[in-house]
Amino acid sequence: MRVISASLENFASYKTLDFDFTDKGLLLIQGPNGAGKSTLCDVIPWILFGRTAKNGPVDDILPWSGETPTKGTLRLEHNGQEITVTRCRKPNDLYINQDTRGKDIPDTQRLINRLLGLDVDYFLSAAYFHEFSQTATFFTTTPKVRRLISEQLVDLTLAKNLQTKVATEKKAINIKALEAEVATLEAQAKFLKTHTQAVSAKALFWEEERETNRRALAESLLNFEADQEATISRLQWQEKAFNKQVKDKVRELEGHALHCKTRSTCRECGAPKAPSPAELSRIEAEIVKTKNTKNPYTEQILREQRRENTFAKQLDDLETQVNPYSPKDLAADLAEASSALTAKQSALNAQTTRLTDLELLGDVLEAYRSTSVKGTIEALQRQTNAYLETHFEGEMRVEFSVVEADKVEVELWKDGNICSYTQLSKGQRRILNFCFGVSVMRTLAQNNGNAPSVTQFDEAFDGMDDNMKTKSFGLLKTLEAEYSTILVVDHSPYFKSLFETQYHVSLEDGGSVIHEEA
């Protein structure tokens, strides 16, 4: 990413500022305290990312002239294409090439980041060094933060995006909920199976009982017909016998009456005598009565013939009865529950397999990140020690190690002995931080291939003696082959003798003014 120029209005202490960043080489910025030297380092990150060089918020840049709007336009070249980015505060606005915007400022910022292939953290690590910058605090921060800083040096975008997706998918997989649903369906299927078996047993018992009753009724039906026929036959015989008795009695009485009419015998002496009219009338009346005697068996035969065979109806009723214990509906419910259980178990198995796969992928991604960080840390160690050896006589060296997959530990050596960071002098700490910061910049440029053409060192050499500054300048000279402009902000008068290109910042009429020194 080649930075060309910046044009600003009401940018902190600068009422106006037009600055050309192209091919300045080693550039020294000097001036009194508070004149606005470090503000120059804020120009690029503020316009591109809405952050200051020290990673402060966008509104840390306030115009000295009051409520007038702050505006900055940065011209740069990326992949052979010239791009302008303009940011304005009060009113707030951000756009690309004068007319391209997202739906809001954050959306436009995402467009810029994607277009340039970097974000503010990458830019500040690759193009800015200050005693409080992220790389400068590497030796004093925690092992976990060192790991995060180290990860910025490697293009882990794909791995991090995949880890985010893995975490999202793992969060969406609720194994416990699925297990609870499976347990519920298992209990339901078990109940339905047991209930179906019980109902089937009752249905079978009911059918067996009905068959027993049907056979009994069929037998009773046959017995009823045979018994009725036998009874009628017996009664008919008794009817005939009764009729015969009546006829015999009538003949007897008629014979008696005839005998009485023709002759009679005295009961006392046996002499025949004529019957009395009363006796004859009695006999005749008895004959009539006997003839009129009702045969009791005739009525019995009629009653027997009219007697209804209820067994036939009972048998019909029995045949039409419906088994109240039909398991068909339960069987359908059981089949449905079993199908639902099978489907849910399949889903649980699939999700369990998916979760296992995601966990495995997560382990692989974490191992990849750790391996990448380890490789980068080893490269940083070699590069930092190489700078310390080549430019600072190897008085110090560093050893980095990755432990527990997420921590970067540091060991410092001075004159062949292990020491702590606080045991070093201020100048030695600055040397160590400077060599490490340059190693980070070059590592980012090598790994990403999208390093800015401008790099900035803001008061990075405070505490060094003139000899150390001369050696640091030698290291800065090695960067000229990679960066078109290396902007150094420093107060040291000694540096004036080393830099060919120098700018001076001063306060005039309440505002900062910058001019190149001859």
Q: What is the bridge-based pairing of β-strands 128-130 and 501-508?
A: unpaired
Supply the pLDDT for residue 267.
Answer: 58
d(C-alpha 456, C-alpha 467), whole Å: 21
Supply the pLDDT for residue 279.
Answer: 78
pLDDT-derived band at 275 (thresholds 50, 70, 90) equals low
Residue 422 pLDDT greater than 60, yes or no: yes
Q: What is the dihedral of CA 174, 177, 178, 183, to 10 degrees?
A: 160
Of the candidates 482, 504, 509, 496, the residue with the CA atom closest to the CA atom of residue 25: 482
d(C-alpha 28, C-alpha 473), whole Å: 11
- b/e map of 220-254 (b: 16 or more CB within 10 Å)? bbeebeeeeeebbeebeebbeebeeebeebbeebe
Asked if 384 contacts 443 with a C-beta cutoff of 8 angstroms, the reply is no
Supply the pLDDT for residue 266.
Answer: 56
Of the candidates 178, 164, 135, the residue with the CA atom closest to the CA atom of residue 353: 178
CA atoms within 13 A on the CB side of 189: 16
pLDDT-derived band at 269 (thresholds 50, 70, 90) equals low
Asked if 125 contacts 116 with a C-beta cutoff of 8 angstroms, the reply is no
With H, G, I as helix, E, B as strand and everything else as coil, classify residue 334: helix
d(C-alpha 433, C-alpha 141), whole Å: 13
pLDDT digit string, tens, across residues 229-249: 899 999 899 989 999 998 998
pLDDT digit string, tens, across residues 95-117: 999 889 999 999 999 999 999 98
Supply the pLDDT for residue 273.
Answer: 60
Supply the pLDDT for residue 191.
Answer: 86
Mean pLDDT across the chain:
88
Report the share of the chain in percent with pLDDT over 70. Answer: 96
With H, G, I as helix, E, B as strand and everything else as coil, classify residue 5: strand
Supply the pLDDT for residue 263.
Answer: 61
Supply the pLDDT for residue 264.
Answer: 57
Please tell me which residue, 270 or 207, carries the higher pLDDT value: 207
pLDDT digit string, tens, across residues 347-377: 889 989 988 998 999 889 888 888 888 888 8
Residue 130 pLDDT greater than 60, yes or no: yes
